[in-house]
Structure 1
Amino acid sequence: MANGLPGRLLQRRENPRRASFLELFFDLAFIFALSRLSQALLDDSSLNGGFRVLLMLAALWWVWFVTAWSADWFDPRTPLIVALLLWVMLGGLLMAAAVPTAFGRHALVFAIAYVAIHLGRAALLIPALRGHPLQLRTVRVAVWFAISGVLWVVGAAVAPAREVLWALALVMEFSLARLRWPFAGLGRSSWPDLQVNGTHLSERYQQVFIIALGELILMSGVTYSGSGLDRDSTVAFVLAFVTAVALARLYLVPAGARLGTSIEEAGPPGSKLALKAGYLHLVMIAGVLATSAGMEVSIANPGAREPARLVLSVTGPALFLTGRILLSALVDPRLPLARLIGVPLIILGGFASVNLPLVGTSGIVAGVLLLIVVLDALPGLWQPGRPARRTDG
């Protein structure tokens, strides 16, 4: 078995793992996807528009997430895994290209590309894993993706039910991963079956979060370049940069740097921690995406007073901080008091700035984030909490 195809495909758990060039190349599709999602949010900042963007983000994130786990289990240098990553990248680019009209005339493109990614992955891996116990795990996942795929395709074909069916498909997929993909007659995966390399996966999380911040900086720069470089737009652009720096620091310190160690120390049950961290990264990236859209509007129209766009500037950082606090709770028993205070401060700042121009709201948000960074660095503000909980079960 060790000399067969399955043995060559699989990573050795004890080997140190860094992200491969091909994995980083694959991430380029996610950069394009985030830029399309940001524009879609700007085009429709209503509650319904925001919900649609969230659905598309969750789908694209799930593609990235499942692929990151696959690359963690398998050697990305083998021709089969190279073909797999390129297949998923192509499908992700098709989904991203369809984002502006995914709830219109190109719904089938978005849905079929999504389903083809997951079923294509299974079609490559199942024959290659013949005779290996992990083949059954891949079969379980493939069966459930085939079932959810029906919801995706029917939702694309039936416009009135699209949002409901796509949301149901995503809830089902996210929940089944947490339940370890149980299926009648096939059982369910064990946590050792799903064990990941904590160092590698936490590095991949950091890389994709940097991509999200890169989208914020990129779109802010593009918007500023076309703004005429006047005084107010320059102030808004500087505030966008300050916000990006604050988000980066708040993400990395301290729990962001401890995630990989926590996963490794937990042993096989650490895969449950890694899965929860994946869900929380979706929350944080959604926050960065909303922040990016809010900053773009502020740079383009710094003197405007638009309550709907103001909500983006406030909701984004609050959403990021919420996800970040929950991530801290997973890997550190101490409570991040400064960040706990930061969420209501940002929300209150949003209410207080309702009559201010958008650049004023950006200033308040950036100021609160900087205040959290400063308070976070002061000794004594990380309060003792309960002992860390076990991650097995």
Structure 2
Amino acid sequence: MPPRLTAVTQGHRVTTLELFFDLVFVYAITQTVQLMSDRLDLLGLGQGVMVVAVLWWSWCSYAWLGTTVRADEGLARFAMLGAMAVMFLVALAIPEAFGDFPGGLHAPLLFASCYLLVRVLHLAAYLGAAREDAALRSVVLRSTAPGLCGALILAGAAFTTGGVQLALWVVALLIDYVGVRAAGARGWQVPAPAHFAERFGLIVIVALGESIVAIGVGIGTLPISWPVVLTAVCGLVLAASMWWVYFDVVAKLAERRLAAATGLERVRLATDSYTYLHLPLITGIVLVALGMKKALLYVADRDHHGPAEALHGLPLWALAGGLALYLVTLSALRRRNQGTWNVQRLVVAGLLLAGAPLLELVPAAVLVVVVTGVMVGLISFERVRFGERRRTMLTAGQ
């Protein structure tokens, strides 16, 4: 290991610089929710999901770097701070990522250029970390090439619009995501599984924080009434329930499974459970944030929405569908780590999707109460039905 880089060892925990780095993504997620909120159609939804995928891949790159070398020491510190500055520019450009506003810089090209620079900084830092490790250096080069190619396609997409532009984004990200998968696990290292799992748990907290921010943003400067208070509290309970179903058991067992694995098996688990399966998890949270933002607006804005007006269209499906996606992904995480599906969560996800048309018939405030009640009911059922199994599973490794 070069003297200006410090290798991560067993027992390493998340550094304050990594926490500081995550703050940029708080703003980026807020910008993404606003992007979808400003264009409530399938194209706008697709654009938002693509931005989430870009943000996720950028964040994951540095999460993996921080599990190889200490992020707060030597050259890695400057790479993290440099990437943080560039990602802030990416976040600033999100509202114009698919359509440049008159005047100023060409924002779609700025977005793509900054994403390319983020990947280049990551490559430089990782090559420094791998200077004495041929296997790591080889896999870094193999996995970075598709990312650079994808970033160049995004740059080309900056000069297109509409469906063609979105299709180019899809192609670029598929090349990046599939390319990393095709590069294989050999060469990657996860020397501190607790640190790795903690990093991903913290980014889930960041995303859940955005769902709470969306409640306040949805209200804005509108007057607070009792329906607003009730809906806002229910929104907070909904966010807390999403925290519960992830951190109460799933996160702990995933970390334990990762720590028990060794070598290539650990790397494959880290890639599957965290790098790939946490993407739909974060996407689900972002969609819920979009739905909550619009629901609170309907409840608070009495000049444009009546007290009995229902949330409809894309915001409703974002709320119900995002929550369903979140639950399905949690079940998939259990399948990857324990070999079985979480049936009750799949059932609840199906009920949310099947019941979405009926939820268009109730006032927005009632919708939030119902969805929150479903999540609280799921947690209560699991605590009663599987309480003993939960205690056994959580104490088995102690």
Counterpart amino acid of residue 356 in structure 1: V
State the partner residue of 2:272.
276
Are 2:363 and 1:362 aligned?
Answer: no
CA distance in structure 2 between the partners assigned to 1:316 and 1:196 by the alignment: 33
Counterpart amino acid of residue 81 in structure 1: A
- Where do residues 337-356 of structure 1 align in structure 2 (5 Å cutoff)? 337-356=343-362
TM-score relative to the length of structure 2? 0.87
- Where do residues 136-175 of structure 1 align in structure 2 (5 Å cutoff)? 136-159=138-161, 161-175=164-178
Are 2:292 and 1:291 aligned?
Answer: no
CA distance in structure 1 between the partners assigned to 2:126 and 2:384 by the alignment: 50
State the partner residue of 1:331.
337
Gaps of 5+ in 2: 101-106, 300-306, 390-398
Report the 3-state secondary structure (helix = DSSP H, G, I; strand = E; otherwise coil) of the residue aligned with 1:240.
helix
State the partner residue of 2:122.
121
CA distance in structure 2 between the partners assigned to 1:45 and 1:322 by the alignment: 24
Are 2:304 and 1:301 aligned?
Answer: no
Report the 3-state secondary structure (helix = DSSP H, G, I; strand = E; otherwise coil) of the residue aligned with 2:133.
coil
In the TM superposition, residue 10 of structure 1 has moved relative to its aligned partner by 2.4
| Larger mean Cα displacement after TM superposition, 159-168 or 370-379 | 159-168
Give a deviation string over 1:234-273, Cα, whole Å, max 9, x none. 2211110110111010111312111111112121212111
- Where do residues 361-380 of structure 1 align in structure 2 (5 Å cutoff)? 361-380=367-386
| Larger mean Cα displacement after TM superposition, 54-63 or 139-148 | 139-148
CA distance in structure 1 between the partners assigned to 2:148 and 2:56 by the alignment: 18
Counterpart amino acid of residue 130 in structure 1: R
State the partner residue of 1:111.
112
TM-score relative to the length of structure 1? 0.88
State the partner residue of 1:65.
60
In the TM superposition, residue 131 of structure 1 has moved relative to its aligned partner by 4.2
Counterpart amino acid of residue 62 in structure 2: T
Contact 2:8 2:192 in 1 (8 A): no
Of 155, 176, 179 in structure 2, the residue corresponding to residue 176 of structure 1 is 179
In the TM superposition, residue 307 of structure 1 has moved relative to its aligned partner by 1.7
Counterpart amino acid of residue 118 in structure 1: R
Contact 1:350 1:361 in 2 (8 A): no
CA distance in structure 2 between the partners assigned to 1:380 and 1:149 by the alignment: 46
CA distance in structure 2 between the partners assigned to 1:236 and 1:311 by the alignment: 18
CA distance in structure 2 between the partners assigned to 1:132 and 1:341 by the alignment: 47
Report the 3-state secondary structure (helix = DSSP H, G, I; strand = E; otherwise coil) of the residue aligned with 1:335.
coil
CA distance in structure 2 between the partners assigned to 1:173 and 1:196 by the alignment: 25
Q: How many residues align?
A: 371
Contact 2:288 2:323 in 1 (8 A): yes
Of 14, 27, 30 in structure 2, the residue corresponding to residue 32 of structure 1 is 27
In the TM superposition, residue 285 of structure 1 has moved relative to its aligned partner by 1.2
CA distance in structure 1 between the partners assigned to 2:246 and 2:126 by the alignment: 34
State the partner residue of 2:211.
216
RMSD between aligned alpha carbons? 2.2
Counterpart amino acid of residue 114 in structure 2: A
| Larger mean Cα displacement after TM superposition, 225-234 or 356-365 | 225-234
Counterpart amino acid of residue 89 in structure 2: L
Give a deviation string over 1:82-140, Cα, whole Å, max 9, x none. 01111111121111111111001111111111011101222344356434323333322
| Larger mean Cα displacement after TM superposition, 333-342 or 277-286 | 333-342
CA distance in structure 1 between the partners assigned to 2:277 and 2:124 by the alignment: 29
State the partner residue of 1:260.
255
Gaps of 5+ in 1: 182-188, 384-393
In the TM superposition, residue 341 of structure 1 has moved relative to its aligned partner by 1.7
Counterpart amino acid of residue 204 in structure 1: R
State the partner residue of 1:200.
195
Counterpart amino acid of residue 177 in structure 2: F
CA distance in structure 2 between the partners assigned to 1:280 and 1:141 by the alignment: 18
Are 2:13 and 1:10 aligned?
Answer: no
| Larger mean Cα displacement after TM superposition, 152-161 or 64-73 | 152-161
Report the 3-state secondary structure (helix = DSSP H, G, I; strand = E; otherwise coil) of the residue aligned with 2:277.
helix
